[in-house]
Structure 1
Amino acid sequence: MDGTVGRGTLLAGRYRMFQPIASDLAGATAWAGNDQILDRPVRIAILSDGHVAQALDSARRAALVTDPRLVRVLDVGEHQGISYLVTEPVTGPSLAQLVARGPMPADQARAIIGEAASALETARRRGVHHLALRPSVLHLGSDNRVLLTGLAVDGALLGKGLGDARSTTRADTVALVALLYAALTGRWPGARYEVPSADAPVVPELPAAPVVGGVAVAPTELVAGIPNDLDTLCAVTLGSHDDGPHSPAELVLELEPWGNIQAASLLAATTRPRTAPTAATPAARLATARPLSGDPAGTHPSESTVTTDRTTSPEPQDQPPIGADAAPPAVRRTSVRSIFAGQAPVTAARPGTPPPASPARTSTFGSAEAPPTAPTTPPAAPAAPADATRVLRPATGAASLPTPPTPAAGPAPTSAAPRRTSVRPAAAPAAAPAAARTATPAPRTPTPTPAPAHHPRGFDELVAARETIVTKRFDPTKLVLAIVVVAVVLGLIFAFRALTSPTSTPEPGRDVASAAATAPESAPAQAPAAEEPAAPDAAAAAPAIASAQMIDPPPGGDDNEHPEAAPLAIDGDPTTAWFTRTYKSADFAGLKPGVGFGINLAAPATVTTVTLQVNGTGGMVEVRATDPANPTAGDVLAQGPLSASTVLTLSAPTETQNLVLWFTALPQTADGSNRIELADVAVS
């Protein structure tokens, strides 16, 4: 079917196709085009394979969802056997392009995914889901606006739109978290989508996220500095269990609050050179600290799991050869408690460096260590700090990281504190052990540091310190109890007055008794008045509307002014509306004399007023009591411009069963568009 369309093809006598656009959705091709009637750019999707009928139906439902962050559906239809979908053009790079040269800041990732989740929550409340979220459908414009494409259509075309509400909502939520993962790391943890054809433009793809045990690794394993709440959110939601938020609304609560989106800085980042992974991040630990089964001792797993900009020399010069005589220390995942237990002052080590692992054997050099700034290279190398990405790689003979200094008055024992014992480089002089056993160790840091007692170093101490701060907060219990007591006292006073006040006014009792005695005499005279309450009930019964229809007669019309949305104007819900297509001017761009809206009452009734709720102002509407098949016949009973609440009073009460609202000029919506959005109609 793709062979029947190409550059210059005119669809439905209106949409001119110019050039193909990149697409990663099998069964669909995208084209840049132009609306020949309204003279505006559009995006045209040709649906050629898959669940095409279901996708077209989903597109019609997606057109009823109004949100500035969702691409607006302009037209859906078929032309000479070609199924097409027309939307507004998409501007701005996709998420895949934004992070192609490096992850984006965590605050911007939080804001962008938060806006996308808010948009999908709006669609979910209308029963519409995406079900095919991926980095190529999330775009960021230069006006700081997030834009989502493919709502309901992409998922339906792939056959994913038939699940229950709970499973489809959960699927969209997990996909949103996967987009958050991609924004934070530049890696995609989700499924890949096929390219429609070999001739289609290439859609940029993100590298796959590393997987351990069938689950993508946590973001902090790849990029340092990610906030704990975002790291936990990704790890829990993308894990093997059904945890994390189950709807976009819950995800919004997890991400709130977020700041403004800085599109200028993010768009500028797409043109700068690719950034290397942050030094001393857990990514290096991931790439080197997981031996493959069957590997010989002293070898390391392949580093292809996590891409780094490390040089490709056979072996770094600042580490001894792999497979040396001494076995490397056992590699294990470091827990939060162990990190806090061995944390050094901020001046002793660079951020991002893990605590030193306990050596597998006791050093033969006692407690003598190299100064904190000493490199791990052999003595012949220049005295410069070692590469942070190489310090994390376990190797035989590598020096452990410096630890906080402790005051010492004498020689330190060789095995009293294994954590503080370091292994000197292999080329160190052999006389060092004797000197270390007889001399007081030199200061380990060039600058003085605060006493350890002033900083809680253990995890439990930090938690205890936080609990102490929490207990000093203001306790509103006493204030609330005082307010409740005052309210109870006031209630008792009013109740006492209400119970005791009748005893001081006995006269009304006698008046009531006398009135009761004379009531039989006046009852016949008041009998006609008893029939009066029935009159308001009869007047209050407004004519019931049975059905409504869109009227767009030829030759100017094509009976296609969204007829499927006509019932939304009489459902009593002001948030739904029947709407027309958008025109270039208020006079329908000179294409037609007007459009109509037919109202069919349940039974013939006398009508005096017609009330319209319209999302816009201006234009002109006429009211006629005529058949919808001949909308301009008969006298004009009322006419006037439109406003948010328009009340049209008929020139005389008219008994009829059919009314026609004939719009001769279009109102203007809040965004400046020329179209009718009729939210509610009532007659009386």
Structure 2
Amino acid sequence: MEGVGPGTTLDGRYTTQRRIEQRHGCERWTADDTTLGRSVVVLCLPDSDHRASAVLDAGRRAAGLDTPTLHRVLDAGRERGVAWVIESDVADSRSLAQLVHDGGLPADEVRRIVGEVATALESARQRGLHHLDLRPEDVLRTVDGEVRLRGVATSAAIVELDDVESEDASRRDAIGVVSLTYAGLTGLWPGPGATSLGSAPRVLGGVAAPSEIAAGVPRDLDALCRLTLGDDQGPTSPGDFARQIAPWPSRQVAGRSTIATTAAVDPRVPTALSPAALAPAALAPAALTPAALTPQASTEVLPTTAPEPDPSTGADPDSEPLAGPDAQDAPTEDDDEPTRVLQRPTSTSAPTEAIPVTGAASAGATPPPADSTAELPRVRPSSTVPEPTATGAEAGPVGSDPSGDGDAAPRAATTAAAAAAAAGAAMAGAGSAVAEAMSRAGSRVGSLGRQVGERAAEKAAERRGFHERITAPNAPGLTDDGDHVRPGTGSDAFLEPPAPLVPAEPLTKDESKVALAIVAAFLVVALIGGIYGVMQIGSKTNVDFGGVPNRAASASAGAATKSPTPAKTGATPNSSGEKLQILAADGFDPQGDGRENGTRAPRVFDGDPSTAWQSEGYSSAALGGLKQGVGVVVDLGPNVAAREISLTLGNRADVEVYIGADKSLTGAVKVGTKASADGTVTFPVKAGTTGQYVIVWFTKLSQDGNGRYRAILGEVEVKS
């Protein structure tokens, strides 16, 4: 930018150092405040830019925000063709975009960051300020884990959206916070603006959901992103978004990032686990040739039991591993670690044994002697199976011609038949093993069924015996004929007759009279107590229930009414007036931009004189000759009759007070004027004056501690 570079000094105290951002025709520079010895950030743009005045005004309004998450605005001004706003600097902070580029963030940390940003934006929204241009570069995290957001109000002025309606601005900021959430979870930017992040993939109706791109995305955050960025629904304001994702951690969260990475680019994956190192080894032809095919001295008889495994390796000494897809294993995976390719083990789980087959050898090998045999590995069956054998006279090595006639086809057929017989024997052994396992399972099921049947028979026998005992001819409670007897009678009775629940005889006439008299006495006592309690209600209070006043009180009231002079206590007639409720307040600047620090205007009716509205700073008491006056307009509601207006001023000023039906001096009734007023000032209102708005109009200002001329109004009080 022309006029700004390394070493440029603004306002005689801010020396620029390094440019850190350039966007929308504006630049941000790091700078040193030589007066206070601190680091600051300078947001600057050409003074000739049509947005310069709006950006400076936005910076002044943002200076009143005291939210810790928001970057503070320290100063604003113009000099040598440059308009600048000074912001606070956070040393060693990193933006959300940098955090994503450096490996990403855990989902809980993303929730915490966007939650803090949404809370800060909601605080600014309640003051009438918005951001409207959220980017990952605007969100910073300090080394202590604190979250900072810059650009509130100034970014809205830069993109020329500061006049957007409040509801539309709130929705735009809510979409911006959701976009920040999407960027933190996926490392991609779903919005239309340019950032240092890549663009999110587009699908029908919007962008892809975070859960389709990243791993471990919480369901609520995923749903908010889909509804807001795809279905045009979701939160209507940053506060609404914060309520939907709450609660979030109060401190920085460390953990695994949600951004998907591969072993080739992820620095967290060791080099030994790279795809090249983990690729399956090529299958050599020698690996496909069983070692058991080497020549043996003679044919051996198969043992009836499997040989003992080697204690050092845990494998059968006669077994041979099979390379390729036949060797399988199920390695376990750690759910907390990324999926990696693992090398298949080189051991087999099933013991093998050799079937002697003569003349079987690999192609290209040296032919063995005619009387040698070769072993073909197979799965050992559970029982001994007769194995077919071939002698050297029946078959020879492949390619040999013992008869000398050169015909090798019959011998090749013989060799194939022997191999087929060996395979059939192996399958027969496997079938025998399966049959034996099923037989054992059937035996166990049958045993369990027999046990259940025996138990059921025992229970049935017990029930039959109990029924026989209670229905036998000599059973207790039965007569000799088998009839049931009444309890309490008979020689074998053991139960006493039940006690009577009601009197055996009705009450006599005298007893009935006594009972009625007792009931009547209770009713009379209760009635007397109730009447006494009702009479005592309100007897110890001074509440007037609208009764007729006594004569003495009426006489004293009439005498007080006829008295033509006020009492000697010095009370004024207005001291008994009722304080009217103020509905709203706003800055009043009809000859300027119409705002005049309107976001601070509600302070004039908060009941605290220490919190005050103040005008913008001017170069002279006459408002720099720019306008005739500025002030505050207070809304009382329609057609209010006021009797007295009191003002609490923060410094000396010339002030006028008006009452009217509109927010305008035209047609308003002038209540009064006071020159060089200070402190509490009271304006009596002429009887019959009504209106909705009270306008406090300052025409002459006094200088504040910073050398600027301002109007300061602490409180406005209206009485009827």
Query: With structure 1 as the length reference, what TM-score do the two structures score?
Result: 0.48
Higher Cα radius of gyration:
2
Between the two structures, name the one with larger relative contact order (CA 8 Å, sep ≥ 6). Answer: 1
Query: With structure 2 as the length reference, what TM-score do the two structures score?
Result: 0.46
